[in-house]
Chain A
């Protein structure tokens, strides 16, 4: 069940939530809508579900236009950030809800419903909790029940709005891996909204990066991480350092860096920014190449598996952050105030927009 979104536009008062958004979601994939708050990702999800109507544009499921169909006719499963379980119903009745409200002719028998609920609770690994009430469950359990409830109606599309947002860090990681495995099992086209890049990179088949009501880039996790289309995507996926400078006829001079940028061959003294991820900054005791830049260690933060080192470039005093492995850090024995050399890998140069 593929989803095609064409030129969807949505405005709340003077705020443009979605600005002419088009996107194709292939059948059976798990897609992440990733972006900061206010980027329109939740609005897009709610429009796909039919909980919100677009001001303009079309949504079709498998080539069939659904724009005019109401929520209940769309056959989507929706999982809410705060679970939205029916508090007055038991877990079993919650899961059975979508089946119980079907018109009599389409409704399965009591026995079939009971079996189906049992199967679903087994699928989400909460068989023992059928008679509990939502208030008696933990956050992670509630979200899995919410998922079982959404799957009960055999939706064509599964939509999840920040499904792990309300959970604590450890449960979040556990649950998203579980969701990935579940999706590999049931293969229903799924879209989930998140503002957590790690979550998107780990779980999704494809990532759609959104910002200010627009899609900045859509692609596999590898594509958006390794070849970001623009500075926003680069910035949003991981920590980056900025090197300001100019590009002239295919050569960039950014702070102490000089490098060849054939893609900007026709740039003429254009102001540009070089982006380098923190783990692409190499710190060394001695200059190993021409490209090495002198710097001073400002601050060391040695918490967790990686060590963050703040460095001031000698040439212009700009602050650069490097991420080192613990091993390398121990080898170098860096201390604040020491003079070192810095090299860069994978510099991505983007010419400032207004210069183009």
Chain B
């Protein structure tokens, strides 16, 4: 649209239509996103700040926070490692089964989280394939922390890899080859050339991965067993408190997740901006 005067007359909608569309969009946003978000915080603080912090200090809640942090602490670095390795392999080399691998990485996105959870029940449950053997050796995976971590890893599998593959494919492998010719070792090439070029993409993937790891409900719910103070993550703890009509506590804990979402959004926009304005730093 080089010619503005022309486009205004022929291509742009009348002013009132633009106003209407903008208003409708903003109202939707307010109704479905901002009002609920505000409701979470107002409900959480309904009975005062003292009740809010007391609810967060409750033993079961503290344990759920610890478990969620532990889960994210294990799942995110593992998926970061996997994501970088997979993206490296896919973007820089060609091998048979490459497109199949890309499809496979996307699998957790297309499967319902409940199904993801059930897969682990099928494998590790008492009636499952490995169940009897695990019971014999007294190894607990299902209804225990390892199961929760496994389910979380599965669900957050694609985030880092998906972010890096197009980025690394676009960058090609010229720079890596240049580094090798200049005498750099494989590790030097990775840390001095590959990693700096993808660091904002990595951060972006990690943020999204972390948000999902901490907020995942479905898959974790299936494998957790809902043992209070032991296998409940924050989302599960919110559900339990809510089902017990303990609204103030439920919303107080929920506000933690809401806060995480807000922080994630802010960091995400900053990183997106950096990705766009050039990867010089």
Contacts and interface: CB of A to CB of B under 8 A. Distances in A.
Contacts of A85: 175, 178
28 contacts: A50-B181, A51-B177, A51-B180, A72-B180, A72-B182, A72-B184, A76-B181, A77-B181, A80-B174, A84-B174, A85-B178, A86-B175, A86-B178, A86-B193, A87-B197, A87-B279, A87-B280, A88-B196, A88-B197, A88-B281, A98-B183, A101-B179, A101-B182, A101-B184, A102-B183, A133-B280, A135-B278, A135-B280
Nearest to B192: A101
Interface string B217-228: 000000000000
A3 interface: no
A135 B277 CA distance: 12
Contacts of A84: 174-175, 177-178
Interface residues of A, number: 27
Contacts of B197: 87-88
A87 B174 CA distance: 11
B243 interface: no
Nearest to A76: B181
Interface in A128-157: 133, 135, 146, 149-150, 152-153
Contact of B279 (A78, A80, A88, A101): A88
A98 B181 CA distance: 9
A97 B182 CA distance: 7
Given A72-B183, A87-B280, 8 more contacts: A80-B177, A86-B192, A86-B196, A87-B279, A97-B179, A135-B280, A149-B182, A150-B181
Nearest to B196: A88
Contacts of B196: 86, 88
A88 B184 CA distance: 16
A250 to B, nearest CB: 54
Interface string B187-219: 010001100110000000000000000000000
B103 interface: no
B185 interface: yes
Contacts of A153: 182-183
A217 B232 CA distance: 76
Interface string A81-108: 0101111100000000110011000000
Contacts of A98: 182-184
A34 interface: no
Contacts of B279: 87-88
A49 interface: yes
Interface in A46-87: 49-51, 71-72, 75-78, 80, 82, 84-87
A171 to B, nearest CB: 20
A39 to B, nearest CB: 21
B107 to A, nearest CB: 30
Describe B's contact surface by its main secondary structure. helix
Contacts of A146: 178
Contacts of B281: 88
- Which size class do B's interface residues fall under? 20 to 34
B174 A82 contact: yes
Interface of B: 174-175, 177-185, 188, 192-193, 196-197, 278-281
A166 to B, nearest CB: 12
Interface string A198-224: 000000000000000000000000000
A49 B182 CA distance: 11
Most chain A C-beta atoms within 10 Å of own C-beta, residue among B177, B183, B184, B192: B183
A50 to B, nearest CB: 8
B181 A49 contact: yes
A82 B173 CA distance: 11
Nearest to B188: A101
Contacts of B185: 72, 101
Q: Counting chain B CB atoms within 10 Å of each CB, which of A88, A98, A135, A153 scores highest? A: A88
A78 B177 contact: yes
Most buried by B among A82, A84, A98, A133: A84
B96 to A, nearest CB: 12
Contacts of B183: 72, 75, 98, 101-102, 153
Nearest to A51: B177
A7 B279 CA distance: 44
Contacts of B174: 80, 82, 84
A74 to B, nearest CB: 8
Q: Which of A77, A98, A152, A153 has the most CB of B within 10 A?
A: A98
A76 B280 CA distance: 28
A71 B280 contact: no
B109 to A, nearest CB: 31
Contacts of A149: 178, 182
B274 to A, nearest CB: 12
A78 B181 contact: yes
Contacts of B180: 51, 71-72
Contacts of A76: 181
A71 B174 CA distance: 14
Contacts of B188: 101
Nearest to B184: A101
Contacts of A86: 175, 178-179, 192-193, 196
Contact of A71 (B181, B192, B193, B278): B181
A54 B174 CA distance: 20
A149 B280 CA distance: 19
A152 B281 CA distance: 24
A78 B197 CA distance: 21
A157 B184 CA distance: 17
A80 B180 CA distance: 13
Contacts of A82: 174
- 7 A-B pairs with the lowest CB-CB distances in the bound complex, closest first: A84-B174, A98-B182, A101-B184, A84-B178, A78-B181, A88-B196, A71-B180
